[in-house]
Amino acid sequence: MIYTVTFNPAIDYVVHLPGSLELDAVNRTVQEEYLFGGKGINVSSVLRALDCENTALGFVAGPTGRWLEDGLRDQGVHTDFIHLTEGVTRINVKIKASEETEINGMGPQIGEADMEQLYAKLDCLKAGDALVLAGSIPSCLAGDTYEKIMARLDGRGVRIVVDATRDLLVNVLKYKPFLIKPNNHELGEIFGRELTTDAEIIACAALLQSRGARNVLVSMAGDGALLLDENGNTHRMGVPKGKVLNSVGAGDSMVAGFLAGYLQKGDYEWALRLGTAAGSATAFSLGLATREKIDALLNEF
């Protein structure tokens, strides 16, 4: 079974304006939609689209939390959220006008007792399961939360995927995560340099691998992706043709596709191909990737 963790889920309320956002005035929308967001939730949603069974873990609160939970279940995503007694799950307002503006909510506070409930759920994971830890840690939690989770599961045979940045990523390498997925800019930030060639990206990815990462997947937007696998092989994948409509969730979709592909065939080349197709399918869509879109793009490689 695959499990994802989203500490601070959100309902993204997306509004489209006909022109510019006018301050101190009434702005009327021409289109609206809402999306259930959070990096782990995005991974769960795309895994579900690929018919890959998984469970979304995390924290929800208040009526917005119940709405998010019910909405995900209606989409076929299995959830096992912890319900906080205070606060509400956040709503993020995304304004699509001549320029894009975002107002992100704060989210509820997560206490020590709440974290103990999460740890109890994670203690049930067994050898062969996979766990996805994606995104930043809320300010109400300790910055070493990922480390604590991985230390707790160390030696249990759980494949852990970490999609995070800077110290949050580097500090977990000692626990030998199955997969890490920085993009090329994030990889460069870790080493304080700009990476402009495949050779430079491979060299930095190899350094992270030498510190403990088993597989390093580097996404590069329109330039595709590069994988340095645990067997010492380098895999390079371009991207199919398409118009980019949305960058939100593309990296999460790549993680979902890669993990689904690896669990299907145990083959890293196939995992990278499916991951790249899933990431591109989201980038070429207004929402997250669908199975139909992913399958269509797979035929273009």
Mean pLDDT confidence for 258-283: 95
Structure tokens at 292: 């139909």
Handedness of CA 254, 255, 261, 267 (dihedral sign): positive
- What pLDDT does 242 receive? 84
Q: pLDDT class for 241, splitting at 50, 70, 90?
A: confident
Q: Which of 114, 129, 229, 252 is catalytic?
A: 252
What is the rounded distance in angstroms from the CA atom of residue 85 to the CA atom of residue 80? Answer: 16
252 is catalytic: yes
pLDDT in tens, 64-87: 999 999 999 999 999 999 999 999
Q: pLDDT class for 240, splitting at 50, 70, 90?
A: confident
- What pLDDT does 300 receive? 77
- What pLDDT does 249 receive? 86
For 176, the 3-state DSSP assignment is: coil
For 182, the 3-state DSSP assignment is: coil
What is the rounded distance in angstroms from the CA atom of residue 24 to the CA atom of residue 281? Answer: 38
Q: pLDDT class for 265, splitting at 50, 70, 90?
A: very high
301 has a pLDDT exceeding 80 = no
The ranges assigned to domains in the chain are: 2-8+38-86+107-298
294 to each of 10, 181, 243, 285, how far by Cα in Å? 25, 20, 15, 11
Mean pLDDT confidence for 5-31: 94
pLDDT in tens, 186-225: 999 999 988 889 999 999 999 999 999 999 999 988 888 9
**Residue bearing tokens 């299907």:** 264
Q: Which CATH number fits domain 2-8+38-86+107-298: 3.40.1190.20, 3.40.1710.10, 3.40.50.2300, 3.65.10.10?
A: 3.40.1190.20
Q: Give kind and range of the element (H or E) at residue 31.
A: strand 31-37
Structure tokens at 138: 């809320």
pTM of the full structure: 0.92
Among the listed residues 198, 184, 61, 52, the one whose alpha carbon sits nearest the alpha carbon of residue 130: 52
Arithmetic mean of pLDDT over the chain: 93
